Each structure stands twice: as structure tokens, then as C-alpha cells.
Amino acid sequence: MSAPALTRPAPQEASPASVAAATRRRIRGASRRRLVILALAVLAVAAFAVTLMAGRTFYPPGDVWRVILGEQVPGASFTVGRLRLPRAVLALVAGFSFGLAGVTIQTMLRNPLASPDIIGISSGASAAAAIAIVTLSLGEVQVSVLAIAAGLGVALLVYSLAFRGGVVGTRLILIGIGISAMLDSITSYVLSQAAEWDLQEAMRWLTGSLNGATWDQVLPALAAAAVLTPLLLGQARGLSAMQLGDDTASALGVRVERTRITVIVAAVGLIAFATAAAGPIAFVAFLSGPIAARIVGAGGSLLVPAGLVGSLLVLVADFTGQFAFGERYPVGVVTGVLGAPYLVYLIIRTNRAGGSL
Amino acid sequence: MARRPAGVRTLWLLAAVLALAAVMVASIAFGSRDVPWADVQAALGGADETLGQAAATKRIPRTVLAVVIGAALGLAGGVMQGVTRNPLADPGILGVNMGASLAVVTAVAFFGLSSPTGYIWVAIAGAALSALFVYTVGTLGRGGATPLKLALAGAATSAAFASLVSAVILPRNDIAGSFKLWQIGGVGGASFERIGQVAPFLVVGFAVCLLSARALNSLALGDELAAGLGERVAVARAVAALGAVLLCGAATAVAGPIGFVGLVVPHTCRLLVGVDHRWLLPLSALLGAVLLTAADVAGRIVARPAEIDVGIVTALIGAPFFIYIVRRQKVRAL
């Protein structure tokens, strides 16, 4: 994973009197950021390893490693290789995709509420996937393609409905909420018409779940993340320049429209592939960015940290949901319960501060 | 909006009554089974000998429930828009319906609630608490309860409650199936017994709401002016809101959270009869009943022989309307 360019002016107050101090601070911030990324990556790998080893039965690291290398280990080959490994990989990939895409869209629209799971992109991908699977009984590839088409279509629709001589974040969010309501009701309808009224399946498409993850589901999401992540990270510089406003960004040499389109398509692609595999895991896209911002501090690019936070969130939430309670909860319910209070808290805090959201 | 002459307003009111009669007949006549007209007439007369008559008879309580719930939600929406002076106010958008759902689901899953009257009390308590919560959150900070802050606070609270509802019902396979259906919002399983259980609550709610019309007219002038006219602003607002909450809670207890009726209907009514709440509120109740009943009939016809729950139909009709209003608002006004 390549780190994006680090030496770029931090958008904080730049008092000319203390350029040297600012430079020092920036250098310190950059090294802190690298440290944070390293720590998050280590944590994510550790969580990944723990979910492979622990469960109903415990397998020592040696066994797990041999399974990953492709050796036959009695017992472990099935449990770890067939059940836990695809699930853990999907958690890692889907979490990373949601976190990365979420923070990208939040950054671009300069509003933490403008995350894909609030403005309807996830709902669109989810509705399309539910229709493709339940009503049309299509295969994994077609499902992913439809989910992406729907995600992009919804993003385009919300954006163009919100466009009235410029896009205002708040209008876009409210319109997204309206569109989500429609799409969720379509998903509910499709599921209520399913031949077997399976609540697990319903939960997968309404809140997200990793239950029964197979390699067939995981591989498209993995491939999409492998292609789209470098593409997005390549736009990191342009993206943070655009936070200063379109005019400033183009004065800095950023091709604003091209950056915006690339970023939207890549982010929506990540969301759609991850949603087609795991459902719209609730609030991961929404939570990862702000959490990463807290850890990294102001100024640095949040793309990689947010992706790692997303992976960590999904891995830990899935493990917790499976084993911490008497019942097995799908991951989306756990992240939903975590994210919901934060959403309300965010609104309270912004209102208190008198911000315009 | 200009005042409409009384004649025009009476005409619209009459038209609404006629439309209501028409959709009620349609609701009894149409369904997943074709029933000949003679059987429908016989069923209305109380006969249920043939298969067709029996089917039509079963549709009667469903129709009544749709009418009552629609009227309650339309009226509650009109009152909420008046109380908050907010064009985006709707029991669904403000999180009130979801609050009622969460309260019912929690009480059933953890406290073994099973009496139908208990359902209603719990739903009303949940609706009231979430209305209070959303209003408090939306009022924080500069500018008080602006439409945007209220709508966002409501949508956020709604989303938060929805995920809590999933968390509560998921492990309970025994109740999960029926909750899943209830959660979409529908009038399918109606019976006169259930309608009778909510009737007292609805009657009180209707009375309180309709009687607040004059107070809402004063509030529309702004708090200072209303106080100058001798209105006790805080009391008037609280009473009207309580009436709306009663209606929403009771409606949610029988039919599940049904969104957007309370948004679409009052706006349409304002176009027809103007902003006077004494006309606006009764017409909102009537047209709410028409909309919900029509949506229920449409849901039964479109997907024959299956049915689309009315909560889904209203979301499909109402959400575009919500988007239209958001688009029409100037950014500053939001």
C-alpha cells in the first residue's frame, strides 16, 4: 500500500510569522501519521489473525499458517480454510472499501453526514443486489455489475437532483435521505416476496452480514479493491486541494472536474462491490472517516487511515457479533448499534457549535 | 398563500368526502380475488355465504383501518408542520414512528409485553419520547429549530432507532418474522377488535388536534405575535404536539411505521384550501384517509396475486414529494 504524497500545505491557519514552526509541526504531523498508519495496519493484521485462530474451536497459529499456505491440516483445513478465511478476508476487504470510499465522499462534499450509507449509494447497491439475487436469481458477477450500475445511478441521480447552480451539501444529504427511503422500501418488498422468508438473508441486504461468505463472493470485491484503491490514492492530493474550494484547487494545478469524476466513480465502485458481497454494513463508511480524523489529527490525508479503521471495525464487530453474546448477530447490527449513537452525537455537537452542517 | 373563498374550500371538502367514499368502495371491491359486484353489495349488507362475499367481508375491517390510520397520519402531519413551522415535518421523517416501533419491540422482547392495550400505551410513550428528543436536538444551537436541523435530527434518530430495532428482534426467531412484516407498515391483518382497541386513543387525538386549529393559526404568525394575541404559546404548542403524538403512536401500534403520508397530504391541502388550519386540518385528515386507502388498493392490484404493503407504496409516492420540497426550498430557507 503506497502512502500518498505527504508534503503539501496543511490547510490550517498559516501565520507568516511562524513559517518555521509550521514546517516543524507539519513534519512532526507527517511522521505521526505514518506511525498511526503502521499501528492501525498492525492492529488490523492482529485482528485478522485472531479471527482465523479463535472461534468455537481454537487452532494454533502454526495450523492456521499451514492452511493459508495450502497444506492439508485435518479439521483446520475445513474450518479455517473454508469458513473463517473467506469471512475474515471479506471483513478486511469490505471494511477497507467502505472506510476508504466513505471518507473520500465525506471529504469531497466537506460534510461528515454525506457518507454513502446516508445519501443512498449503499441502499441503491443493496436494492439492486437483492433484486438480482432474489427476483432474477443471477450469479455473483452479474450481481456485482448490477449493484455497481445501481450505485453509480443513485449517486448520479442524487447529485443531479441536488444540483441547482451548484451543489449544497445539506440539500444533497436531505435528497439522499429521501432516495434511501424509497430504495429501502423496494428492498423490503423484494425480500418479503422471497420464496423462503429468510431473516438472515434479509439482514444481509438491509444491514449487512458476513454469514456464509464464500470465495465466489469475496474475489470480485477483492479485485475491485486492488484496482480502485491505488486509483483513489493517486487522487489524494487533488482531493485535499479541492477542500480549499474549486478555484483554489485549479489555481494549484488540479484538474477539478476530472478529479471529481474519477473520485466519485472509484468510490462508488468500491462501495458497490463491497455491498454486493457483504450487504451495506451499517455506518462503517460513515464512522471510519471521523474516527481516523480523531486519531491522525488535522492536516494529513485520511484515505489510508480511514480504510484501515474500516477494516478493523468490521473485523472486530463481526467477531464480537459472533461470539460475545449468547446469540450470533450479523456484523451490520453490531456496527449499526455502534454507529447510531455517534450519528446522533454528531448532530448534537454540530448544532451546539452553531455550525451550518 | 392567498386566502381562498369559503365556497371553494367547501367544494374541496365535499370533493374529498366523495373521493373517500369512492376509494372505500374500491378497497372493498378490488383485491387479489375478483369479486362480482353483486357479491360486494351482498357483503356490505352483511352476507358471507359465497366465497366472493366472504372475501369482500374480510376487506371491510381492512378498509376501515386504512381510513382511520390515514386520517390520523395526515392530521398528525398537518399539526406537526404547524407546531414546528417546518415544511419537512412528518411523523416518519421526524423519527416519531420509529420511536414508537422501538418502544414496542423492546417491550415485547425484554419485558414480555403481550396485551394489545399495553402495545398502544408503550407505542405512544415511545412516540412522545422520540418527538421530545428530536425536537430538543433540533433546537440546539443558533437559529432554533430550523427545518433543516429538525429534518436531519429526525432522519438521524430514525436511522439510529431502526438499527436498534434490528438488534432487538434479530435473535428472537419466534417473534422476528411477524415483526419484520409489521416493521414495513401495513393494514393487512386488520380486525374490528384491533381497531376498537386503538379507537379511544385516536378519538382523543383527533379531538385535541382539530381543536388546536385556532391556536396553530396564531402560532403561524410567529411566537411574539401569537403571545401578543393572548395565546399561551408554550402550552398551545405542547397540547397540539401531544395530540399529534397520540395519533402517531396509536397508528404505529396497529399498522407499523408508515411514512410520508403526513408530509404529502398537508402540503397538497395547503395548495387547495390555503393556510387556515381550521380548513387545513380536517381536509388533511380526509385526504390522508383517501391517500392511504388508495395506496392500499394500488398495492393489492399492482402485484396480484401478491400484495405490496401500504408502507412501501407510501414511501414510493412520498419520497419523491419530499425531494421535490427539498429542491424547491432556497438554501437559506433551509
Q: What is the chain B residue with the closest CA to A198?
A: B177
The helix-helix angle for B192-211 and B277-302 (nearest 10°) equals: 150
Residues B57, B45 contacting (CB under 8 angstroms): no
| Chains A, B: CB pairs < 8 Å | 148
Q: Is B327 touching A (CB cutoff 8 A)?
A: yes
The rounded distance, in Å, linking the Cα atoms of B334 and B330 is: 6
Cβ(A309)–Cβ(A288) under 8 Å?
yes
Q: Evaluate if residue B257 carries a pLDDT over 90.
A: no
CATH number at residue B74: 1.10.3470.10
Three cell numbers, residue A232:
483513489
User: What are B29-39's pLDDT values in tens digits?
Assistant: 887 677 777 77
Average pLDDT for B151-162: 82
Largest distance between two CA atoms of chain B: 66
Residues B83-101 pLDDT 10s: 888 777 888 888 888 888 8
pLDDT in the model for residue A145: 84
A167: helix, coil or strand? strand
- Torsion, CA B238, CA B244, CA B246, CA B251, rounded to 10: -160
Task: For residue A311, give the C-alpha cell.
Answer: 477494516
Distance from C-alpha of B152 to C-alpha of B156, rounded to nearest angstrom: 6
Chain A residues with CB-CB distance to B143 below 8 A: 354
Closest CA to B178 of B249, B122, B105, B258: B105
Whether A179 sits inside 8 A of B155 (CB atoms) is no
CB of A92 closer than 8 Å to CB of A125 = no
> B190 lies in which domain range?
61-328
Query: Which residue in B has a C-alpha nearest to residue A160's C-alpha?
Result: B327
In chain B, which residue's Cα lies nearest the Cα of A190?
B308
Task: Please identify every stretch of chain A with a pLDDT value under 70, giving residue numbers as ranges.
Answer: 1-29, 165-168, 194-204, 298-299, 353-357
CB contact under 8 A, B171 and A199: no
Residue B24 placed within a domain: no
Q: What is the DSSP string of A261-319?
A: HHHHHHHHHHHHHHHHHH---TTHHHHHHHHHHHHH-SSS--HHHHHHHHHHHHHHHHH
**Chain B residue numbers touching A164 (CB-CB < 8 A):** 327
Q: What is the pLDDT of residue A90?
A: 93
* pLDDT at residue B175 greater than cutoff 60: yes
Residue whose grid cell is 402550552: B235
Q: Residue B313 above 80 pLDDT?
A: yes
Cross-chain Cβ contact A333/B148 below 8 Å: no
Please give the pLDDT value at position A11. Answer: 47
User: Is B27 part of any domain?
Assistant: no
Rounded to the nearest angstrom, the minimum Cα separation between A71 and chain B is 37
- State the maximum Cα–Cα separation within chain A, in Å, rounded to a whole number: 71
In this prediction, residue B294 carries a pLDDT of 92
Alpha helices in A163-214 (DSSP H): 169-192, 199-206
Which one of B141, B159, B326 has the shortest CB-CB distance to A353? B141
Max mean pLDDT among A105-114, B19-28, B67-76, B83-92 falls in B67-76
Whether B260 sits inside 8 A of A177 (CB atoms) is no
Which tens digits make up the pLDDT trace of B135-151?
A: 888 887 766 667 777 88
The span from the CA of B35 to the CA of A301, in Å, is 66
Is residue A183 within 8 Å of A127, Cβ to Cβ?
Answer: yes
CB B321 within 8 A of CB B291: no
Q: Which residues of B touch A190 (CB under 8 A)?
A: none
Q: Nearest by CB to B140, which of A173, A326, A352?
A: A352
Structure pTM? 0.80
SS3 B179: helix
pLDDT value at position A310?
Answer: 93
Nearest to A182 among B156, B166, B316 (CB): B316
- Please name the member of A168, A189, A347 whose beta carbon is closest to the beta carbon of B137: A347
Cβ-count burial of A250 within 10 angstroms (0-12 exposed, 13-18 middle, 19+ buried)? middle
Q: Is residue B268 part of a domain?
A: yes
Domain total of chain B? 1
Whether the pLDDT of residue B291 is over 90: the answer is yes
Percent of chain B's residues with pLDDT above 70: 91
Question: Does the pLDDT of residue B309 top 70, yes or no?
Answer: yes
CB contact under 8 A, A348 and B184: no
Check if B138 contacts A (Cβ < 8 Å): yes
User: Mind telling me how many Å the CA of A348 is from chain B's nearest CA?
Assistant: 6
CB contact under 8 A, B323 and A327: no
Q: How is residue A189 written as a grid cell?
A: 418488498
**Residues in chain A within 8 Å Cβ distance of B163:** 207, 282-283, 332-333, 336-337, 339-340
Q: Does A178 contact B322 at a Cβ distance shorter than 8 Å?
A: yes
Q: Say what the pLDDT of residue A28 is.
A: 66
From residue B327, give the alpha-carbon distance in Å to each of A75, A175, A178, B330.
59, 8, 11, 8
Nearest chain A residue (CA) to B155: A177
The answer to whether B244 touches B83, Cβ cutoff 8 Å, is yes
Please say whether the beta carbons of A177 and A113 come within 8 A: no
SS3 content of chain B, % helix, strand, coil (to 5): 75, 0, 25
- Compare B227 and A168 and report the one with higher pLDDT: B227
Q: Do A199 and B161 touch (CB under 8 A)?
A: no
CATH topology for A20-352 is ABC transporter involved in vitamin B12 uptake, BtuC (1.10.3470)
Render B47-112 in DSSP notation, one character per residue: ---SHHHHHHHHHHHHHHHHHHHHHHHHHHHHHHHHHHT-TT--TTTTTHHHHHHHHHHHHHHHH-
B window 159-178, beta carbon within 8 A of A: 159-164, 166-167, 170-171, 173, 176-177
Q: What is the DSSP letter of B140?
A: S
> Searching chain B, which residue's CA lies closest to the CA of residue A114?
B152
Q: Does B11 touch chain A (CB under 8 A)?
A: no
Give the other-Cβ count within 10 Å of A89's Cβ: 18
Cβ of B312 within 8 Å of Cβ of A193? The answer is: no
Tell which of B133, B166, B332 to mutate to test the A interface (max A CBs under 10 Å): B166
* 3-state percent helix, strand, coil for chain A, nearest multiple of 5: 75, 0, 25
Measured between CA atoms, the residue of chain A closest to residue B320 is A178
Q: Domain for residue B34, yes or no?
A: no
Portion 301-320 of B in contact with A at CB < 8 A: 303, 306, 308-309, 311-312, 315-316, 318-320
Say yes or no for a CB contact (<8 Å) between B156 and A344: yes
CA atoms within 13 A on the CB side of A288: 35
Hey, is A163 helix, strand or coil? Answer: strand
Domains of chain A, by residue range, sit at: 20-352
